Each structure stands twice: as C-alpha cells, then as structure tokens.
Amino acid sequence: MVRIIDVCSGKGGVGKTTITANLGLALTQLGKKVAVVDCNLTTSHLSLLFGSYSYPLTLNNFLKGEARFEDVVYTHTSGLKIVPASLELKDLVDVSFNNFGEKLKENFRDFDIVLLDSAPGLGREALIALQASDEILFVANPFITSLVDVFKCNQLINSLDFKPKVIGIVLNRVRKKAYEISVDEVTNFTELPVIGIVPEDEKVLESTNKKTLVLISHRNSPSSKAIFEIAAKIAGIEYKKPKILKRIFEIFKR
C-alpha cells in the first residue's frame, strides 16, 4: 500500500521544497516507486527545482476539473514522478480539494511512496495536505523560531481525530555553530526524533539556481550524502553509499 508522506514545516524558508525534491530522487534511486506532489498552490516552487517554469497541465487543472489526474503527472529522467502546481496566479481560482486524499491513493495505488510538498504553517493548503497524508515529516532549521512552529504543528496533529504518524524531523542547513539548537535540545523541546541532519551546503543553492537538484549536480556533497541516509531510513533499507552515488552519476551523465 502506498505511503503518503506530508513533508511540512511550521514556517517558510527552512528548505522544505529542496528536501522534498531531493528526497524523492534519493528514494527513487533506492529502488522505490515515488511521486512528489506540489501541494503549495499559493507559492509553488517544486517545478523550478526540476528545471521547468511551466508545464502544459498542472495539479491546478486537475483540481478545477479541467484535466485527468494522469495528464498532470510527469516523469523525470530518473523515473521519479512529478505533479507540479501552476506558477500562475490566475490558476488559483476555482480549485477544489474535495476528496483529495482519496484521489491521491487511487491514482498512486501501485506506488511505494508519495511525498507532498506542503505549504508551510497552518493555513488551508497546509491542512489539506495534512489531512491527505498517512505520515508526517517535518523540516526545520536549528533555531528556536523554526522549532516553536514545529511544536505548534505537532500539537495540531495530536488534536485531530485522524492522527497521521509523525516520522520525525529533518534538521536542515545545520552549520554546527555553538548558537544553534542542538539535536538533544530539539528532541526535548519538540518531543520528536531527529531522523537526519542536512548540513549547510552552498552546492544546494548553486544547484537551485542552475535549475537542477544537488543529488544530480553534486552527488558527493555533504548534503547529498545526508539526504540519501534519510531516504534509506524512510524506506527501511540499508544505505549503500558507493553503489547509489555511482548509479546516479551513470544515469545523468548520459
């Protein structure tokens, strides 16, 4: 049965979309059938990380009844499936999320994992992604403002009648500075496990501006290695770094 995982954050700017895109690619390279869905319609960015500013049809068209679901699913070179959202403001009109979770399960029933790139915070779009998910993965930075918002989001989840399983926190953009909140402090404050630490890495920003993913452009970077380790934990498989990195290189050098 497909696992629908909401990749979310309490606030914007923590690197949630970057983690979602690269994590989707890493899981694909680990042999899983994976899709990533841009659920942040208001400020959608997922498609940009895959090198495209526009798609013929997007999730918005499906939600407005203008397209079939299969028409808004695109295949990346790696085999990863992408469901982009529109970058156009006009496409925010008349979208309907009725039975969104059921539609995801129906259309991705033969997949292993679907990652939802959620809108940050506790607004309407964030809550829709939350309600459509089986599991939750938080992305946060090692700063109190980011962690307070994760704590608030987790409180909301605990108040729901339907409680998705919280996998834990990916601590992103860690610089190992004395002023940063430590992993132990993060765990104690949020009462959630930290399942991975992604270091601050300029290669991520470089890759984004080149309209690609760091796992493709800088396969041996510290952030790429960290993301692969997180993907292996989520997939429940052993992480074999040399073979995976070699495979990615062979695919994208063609």
Helix H, strand E, coil C: the string for the chain is CCEEEEEECCCCCCCHHHHHHHHHHHHHHCCCCEEEEECCCCCCCHHHHCCCCCCCCCHHHHHCCCCCHHHHCEECCCCCEEECCCCCHHHHCCCCCCCHHHHHHHHCCCCCEEEEECCCCCCHHHHHHHHCCCEEEEEECCCHHHHHHHHHHHHHHHHCCCCCEEEEEEEEEECCCCCCCCHHHHHHHHCCCEEEEEECCHHHHHHHHCCCCHHHHCCCCHHHHHHHHHHHHHHCCCCCHHHHHHHHHHHHCC
Model confidence pLDDT, tens digit, residues 29-80: 999 999 999 999 999 989 999 988 789 999 999 999 999 999 999 999 999 9
pLDDT score for 160: 84
For the chain, the domain total comes to 1
Domain residues for the domain of 164 are 3-252
Model confidence pLDDT, tens digit, residues 189-239: 999 999 999 999 999 999 989 889 999 999 899 999 999 999 999 999 987
Q: Residue 207 is part of a domain; what is its CATH number?
A: 3.40.50.300
